[in-house]
Amino acid sequence: MQIALKRVLAAGELSGMKIFRFSPVGLLYIHPLGNDLIIHGDPKRTDVEIQASTIPEGAQVYPIEVLDAETHIRISGPITVNVPDSISLFVEGEVADTVIQRVAHVALDDCLGDVIVSEITSLRCNGQIKGNVALRKISRFATLQRVQGDLVASDVASLRTDDVRGDVSLTNVNAIQMAIVKHNFTLVHAGSVQIKEVAGDVKINNIRESIAIKRIGRDLEVISAGTTLAATEVLGNVRLNGPLLKNGKYWINAGGAVVVQVSGDVRIAVRAAGEVFAGDDLHLVQEKGDLMTAQLGAAEMAADLNIVAGSDVILNSPGRWQKHRRAVIDAELQKAMQDVQGEIKQALGDVGSHVRSTTTAIADEIQQQVSADTLGPTVRNVVRDILSALETAIPPRTPPASAPPRPEEMQMVLQMLEQGTISVEEAESLIDALRL
């Protein structure tokens, strides 16, 4: 996944750039009027510097002397703003592509393009971001409403979102709370994660505390799940690897198969619509109904692993997992081959239809070129029979083995037949030879 700005401009990139400076106050309100915006924080800076192609008379900067002093900037054109790193920013109205780095607190409304924010204390977006979002080094929290594109984030203390329409890729995020992710979700190194729904695949690696995902539209893969895993509705397959912690609680409810390769002291309870396979370190016990149990390691302070699967369950059996994986790959290959065969048949059917229409056109052309008075009734019947044979010989969904004779070749054969040089049988043989 790549985050790329479409129109963001670096400082001084515009020809005829104008510069305006003023002393800041605690809060800075910026109204960029739908244009690109770049904001750089500098710990050595004591003033605010605005670079823009158009700065009106008076620079449209309005300081308001109140208890919490504020400064408002309303300016048109793509702008770059250099500020002290301790300042708090409020970007109001619609803004296009946006880059904000090394300031204190940031609040955004609607963003029409991509947003990149790094090295800040907190971020809050109250509107909609129509592009992609990249977050880096946010020491307190980042709260987003709706993101139309992809979301990537690293080194964020807390991340909360309502609706992300693209893919999500996170690294080193301590606390994660999300409502809906419309595509795939990938997470590496985190404290805890809580998500209501992910429409695609979920891959999680190295969680210190808990994982709670209510609904997953495809597959789930977890390595090092932390203290708690609650995957209450996984429509696809589940794969769980790594150590399970003492007194940990792990619940998996999958529509497909569940493959587990874990270590530690674990009590296992399984209900599966398919078969249950266990490795040499596990002894399965058939309980009441469809419940099967097994014990890994010591029972004291053991973790609880509860599995409900709509297909097979494989417990600590790498060899069986390889066979299962091979069967899945073979099934996918077979389906792909069937799809390709269907496409080929469709293509051949289109070719056959084209050939039949070409044959009809040739028949019409011959009838126009050859006068009815020149050919006797017997010859016309022969021509009609030959053309009918050409058309019916083409299977409805299979391409012809050879091309039909050209009109001039057919005309020559008919003239020889008319002159008595060849017989009807010889004419048919010549036409068959011309088709090869």
Helices and strands of the chain, counted as H and E runs: 4, 28
Domain boundaries, the chain: 1-131, 323-434
Least trusted range by pLDDT, from 166-170, 239-243, 245-249, 403-407: 403-407
pLDDT tens-digit readout, 217-244: 999 999 999 999 999 999 999 999 999 9
pLDDT of residue 410: 72
pLDDT tens-digit readout, 110-124: 999 999 999 999 999
Least trusted range by pLDDT, from 35-44, 127-136, 357-366, 374-383: 374-383
Q: Which residue type sits at 285?
A: V
**Maximum mean pLDDT: which of 9-18, 21-30, 205-214, 344-353:** 205-214
Q: What is the mean pLDDT of residues 9-28?
A: 62
Residue 340 scores a pLDDT above 90: no
pLDDT of residue 35: 82
pLDDT of residue 26: 72
Residue 169 scores a pLDDT above 50: yes
Residues with Cβ < 8 Å from 369, sequence gap 6 or more? Answer: 407, 411
Core vs surface per residue 91-100: b (16+ CB within 10 A) or e? bbebbbbbbb
pLDDT of residue 128: 94
Distance CA 243, CA 245 (A): 6
Q: What is the mean pLDDT of residues 258-262?
A: 94
Identify whether the C-beta of residue 146 lies closer than 8 Å to the C-beta of residue 162.
Answer: yes
pLDDT of residue 260: 95
Report the share of the chain in percent with pLDDT over 90.
Answer: 50
CA-closest candidate to residue 8, choices 35, 32, 31: 35
Question: Which two structure tokens, joined as six digits, stand for 27?
Answer: 């809060």
Least trusted range by pLDDT, from 133-137, 147-151, 349-353, 421-425: 349-353
Q: Are strands 291-296 and 285-286 parallel, antiparallel or unpaired?
A: antiparallel
Distance CA 74, CA 95 (A): 12
**Maximum mean pLDDT: which of 29-38, 58-67, 228-237, 372-381:** 228-237
99 pLDDT band, cuts 50/70/90, is: very high
Residue 420 scores a pLDDT above 60: yes
Residue 56 scores a pLDDT above 60: no
Q: What is the mean pLDDT of residues 337-347?
A: 68
Q: Are strands 210-216 and 258-263 parallel, antiparallel or unpaired?
A: unpaired
Distance CA 181, CA 150 (A): 10
Backbone angles phi, psi at 137, to 5 degrees: 55, 70
pLDDT of residue 351: 58
**Maximum mean pLDDT: which of 78-82, 264-268, 350-354, 369-373:** 264-268
Q: What is the mean pLDDT of residues 309-324?
A: 80
393 pLDDT band, cuts 50/70/90, is: very low
